[in-house]
Chain A
């Protein structure tokens, strides 16, 4: 299957700082990438849909000024958590939408980034 990478895999930061997470599709072009957040023992929560060359679409309740998303190329989307606070500590996972040879749509996940805000 297609490969999606995320960097960094772990980040620890002080409260009030900003953290940038990168998501890359390594062997395919992704016009759409998704950003999820998952708290321990809870379900995946979709934060936003990132479309190449246009503004991201945020889910209800997700602050777009706090979670800045940029999808500058067909292989890279970034999520910046601005002025991070301890309650932002979570597992952030990106995914990329891929289309197969027969036109079928699939979603592949990156390995995730674990954020701890002190």
Chain B
């Protein structure tokens, strides 16, 4: 079992819709969680980080964390074609000094 699991997609949504990306993790000791966006041929770019249960909003992005269910999600409101990319979910375990990445979900936003 991988430490972080994501559906590889592709997830297709029309422009202006809400895109919902999900991720589960297996290590209950994970303390911090992240969403990165990676465009084809580029390195990952940090979008959101979340450290406690609940929702965290930043512009069109909302990250949600449920530690009891070991579940992290990212909502993208008013999706734009420029949001089309692969979204990587990551979990950090402090005492292992290690970030665990999911394999990524490819998002396509259709004009």
- Determine the chain A residues whose CB is within 8 A of the CB of B43 once the complex forms: 91, 93, 109-112
Interface of chain A, helix or strand or loop or mixed?
strand
Determine which of B46, B92, B97 lies in contact with A49 in the assembled complex, contact meaning CB atoms within 8 Å: B97
Chain A contacts of B88 at CB under 8 A?
Answer: 44
Residue B63 interfacial (CB < 8 Å): no
Nearest B residue (CB) for A42: B103
* Contact assessment for A34 and B51 in the assembled complex, using a CB-CB cutoff below 8 Å: no
Residues of B within 8 A of A75 (CB): none
In the complex, the number of residue pairs spanning A and B with C-beta atoms less than 8 Å apart equals: 47
A67-118, CB < 8 A from B: 91, 93, 95, 97, 104-112
Check: A32 CB closer than 8 A to any chain B CB. yes
Task: Judge if A61 is at the interface, Cβ distance under 8 Å.
Answer: no
Name which residue of chain A comes closest to B92, CB basis: A105
User: Residues of B contacting A97 with CB < 8 Å?
Assistant: 97
**A111 contacts B42, C-beta separation under 8 Å:** yes
How would residues 90 to 111 of chain B score, 1 for a CB under 8 Å from any chain A CB and 0 otherwise?
1010100111010110000000
How many A residues, CB 8 Å from partner? Answer: 20
**Nearest chain B CB to A27's CB is how many angstroms away?**
15
Interface positions, chain B 8-53, Cβ under 8 Å from A, are 31-32, 34, 36, 41-46, 49, 51
B90→A107 contact, CB < 8 A: yes
Q: Are B44 and A109 in contact (CB under 8 A)?
A: yes
A109 touches B92 (CB 8 A): no
Chain B residues near A (Cβ < 8 Å):
31-32, 34, 36, 41-46, 49, 51, 88, 90, 92, 94, 97-99, 101, 103-104
Which A residues are closer than 8 A to B by beta carbons?
Answer: 1, 32, 34, 43-44, 46, 49, 91, 93, 95, 97, 104-112
